[in-house]
Amino acid sequence: MSTVLSDGVIHVSDDCKACDHCTFICPTGAISGVLGQKHHINPQKCINCGQCLINCPFNAIYDLSKVEELKKVLADSQKFVVVQEAPAVRVALGEEFGQAPGTNVKNKMYAALRKLGFDRVYDTEFTADLTIMEEGTELIHRVYGALGVAGFENVGPLPQFTSCCPAWIKYAEDNYPLVLPHISSAKSPQQMWGAVAKTYLAEKLNVNPANIFSVSVMPCTAKKYECERSEFIASGYQDVDLVITTRELAQMIKDAEIDFMGLADEEADRFVGLSTGAATIFGATGGVMEAALRTAYEILSGESLGKVEFDAVRGLDPVREATVEVPVKALGTSLPVSVCIVTGTKHVAEVIEDVLAGRSNYHFIEVMNCPGGCINGGGQPIRRDTY
């Protein structure tokens, strides 16, 4: 089981043509090799993001697949197999079935998963909302702490970094241990869902959590690593048992000869499967920030937002910043909340340096490893668009 933790998720196959493209893609310098010499990934430095994989001109980089194991589990009637899917999966899965990028196939995805034999089909978006509640509350506490409000003395420093991206977490742990207190203690939505599935959901469905097999469909290869990290056992079991990528789900649907686009639309199951628009945009860069702002604004101000879109945090630039004026009812003042969004781990170092040197006046910093956010994750359909 420790293979992923010690050997990494991403590997270079013998098809490597030594073109050296990936060494520039890699944000951590984990790939060794020069032009002409087969490349190799150092699992200690690799953050498992899979950007090299989706950008390899020869498809010579692969991620460890658990599909065969999953097929065995699905065939095992003793196991109660539940599944969650990340927001980014639903706008990319269709590409494997001839749809344009960005086509929403959420409801067909639920139907296909039921056809594949999953006992219950839920949605990671539920815990994305839960993440906003927990992480947003933590942020409010940290802001109160920084403002000197009584009762919030030991809440951790500002700015607060997001914690949804497992590649970013490993990057920070490997390279900037000093920034770790700044990272929200909230688990990623995938791990929250895993913890909730084997406790709350088991209770609601009256199923023995020992029999629950928790599967996660992710746009991400680092999630495969995250689910096997040894601290994610809050439910008493390994919270998420197995992760497959968007590509692997598409492969399973094709292997099962399901006519994906011909499926009737279905909905996710109840208790931990309802999603909101805020959770949906988690898959895009700036989305976690925007979702957090929607909730934080309404909770802090006690007012309802007229326009829920925060256009200032949208975009595809690698580093973006914005300031949002938030009226704080409890304090009777208005607080300019300064936020920063980083997409692409290559660009995060300068932001971290500023934070550690005390030059940063942000309150909240969102970091997503993949350029554009999870929708461009290492587990997503590989595109070779020309024009």
Partner 1 sequence: MSNVNGKVLKHGTQTRTMHWIHLLAFIILGLTGIGFYWDIGGIASIFGGEANASLVHRWAGVVFVVGPLLYVLLNFDRFSRFMDSISHFSKDDFAWLKVMGGYLPFIKVDEVPPQDKYNAGQKILGWLIIIGCLLIILTGFPMWLWRHSVPAVFLAFCYNVHFWTAIILILLVAGHFFLAAIHPKSRVEFSSMMLDGYIDAQISAHHNAKWFAELKESP
Partner 2 sequence: MKLFHESEGITRRQFFKGAGMLTVAAVISGVFAKFGFDVFAASDDYIAKRVAGLYTLDESMAIRKSHENPEIIQIYKDFLSPGKVECVSPKAHHLLHTKYGNDIPGFIAELKNPHLVHEAEPAANEETSTEEPAA
List, by residue number, the catalytic residues.
135, 138, 164, 184, 223, 226, 231, 374
User: What is the SS3 assignment for 226?
Assistant: helix
**203 CB contacts (<8 Å, ≥6 apart)?**
none
Q: Which one of partner 2, partner 1, none is in contact with 56 (Cβ closer than 5 to 8 A by kind)?
A: partner 1
The separation between CA 67 and the C-alpha centre of its own chain, rounded to angstroms, equals 20
From residue 304 to residue 343, the character string flagging contacts with partner 2 as x (rule: CB under 8 A) and all else as - is -x--x-----x-x---------------------------
- Residues near partner 2 (CB under 8 A), total: 91
- Residue 225, both tokens: 């690593």
Residue 186 interacts with partner 2 (CB under 8 A)?
yes
Q: Find which of partner 2, partner 1, none residue 23 binds, CB within 5 to 8 Å per kind.
A: partner 1
Cα(347)–Cα(366) distance, integer angstroms = 12
* Closest separation in Å from C-beta 192 to partner 2: 5
- CA-based R_g, the chain, Å: 21
Instruction: Give the CA distances from residue 365 to residues 287, 297, 307, 323, in Å, rounded to whole numbers and listed in that order.
Output: 12, 16, 22, 12
Q: Is 153 in the site for partner 2 (CB under 8 A)?
A: no
Report the relative pairing of strands 242-245 and 212-218 from DSSP bridges.
Answer: parallel
In angstroms, give the least distance from the CB of 109 to partner 2: 12
Q: Look at residues 224, 227, 198 and name the one whose alpha carbon lies nearest to residue 213.
A: 198
What the block records as the tokens of 375 is 């929708």
Helix (H, G, I), strand (E, B) or coil at 147: helix
Tokens of 322: 């914005």
Strand, helix or coil at 288? Answer: helix
Q: Judged by CB under 8 A, which stretch of 75-83, 210-218, 227-235, 251-259 contacts partner 2?
A: 227-235
Query: What span, in angstroms and rounded, lies between the C-alpha atoms of 381 and 385?
Result: 12
Cβ atoms 274, 123 nearer than 8 A: yes
Given the complex with partner 2, which of 1 and 357 has the nearer CB atom?
A: 1
Q: Determine if 383 is a binding residue for partner 2 (CB under 8 A).
A: yes
| Dihedral sign computed on CA atoms, order 155, 157, 161, 165 | negative
CA 378 to chain centre: 11
Q: Segment 4-23, which members bind partner 2 (CB under 8 A)? A: 5-6
Residue 174 binding partner per list partner 1, partner 2, none, with a CB distance cut-off of 5 to 8 Å that depends on partner kind: partner 2
What is the smallest separation between the CB atom of 35 and partner 1, expressed in angstroms?
A: 5
| Minimum gap (Å) between residue 369 Cβ and partner 1 | 18
Question: Considering the rule CB under 8 A, would residue 134 count as an interface residue with partner 2?
Answer: yes
Is the Cβ of residue 81 or residue 281 nearer to partner 2 in the bound state? 281
Give the nearest distance from C-beta 386 to partner 1 in angstroms: 6
DSSP 3-state assignment of 102? coil
Strand-pair category, 40-41 with 61-63: unpaired
Q: Which of residues 16-75 bind partner 2 (CB under 8 A)?
A: none
Stretch that binds partner 2, among 142-150, 254-262, 324-332, 370-378 (CB under 8 A): 370-378
Q: Which of residues 252-291 bind partner 2 (CB under 8 A)?
A: 270-281, 283-285, 287, 291
Cis peptide bond upstream of 159, omega within 30: yes
The residue (of 112 and 164) whose beta carbon lies closer to partner 2 is: 164
**Residue 187 touches which of partner 1, partner 2, none (Cβ within 5-8 Å per kind):** partner 2
Binding site for partner 1 (CB under 8 A): 14, 17-21, 23-24, 34-38, 55-58, 384-386
Residue with smaller CB distance to partner 2, 186 or 244:
186
The partner in contact with residue 308, picked from partner 1, partner 2, none with C-beta cut-offs of 5 to 8 angstroms by kind, is: partner 2
Phi, psi (5° rounding) for residue 256? Answer: -80, 0
User: Taking CB within 5 to 8 Å according to partner kind, which of partner 2, partner 1, none is near residue 281?
Assistant: partner 2
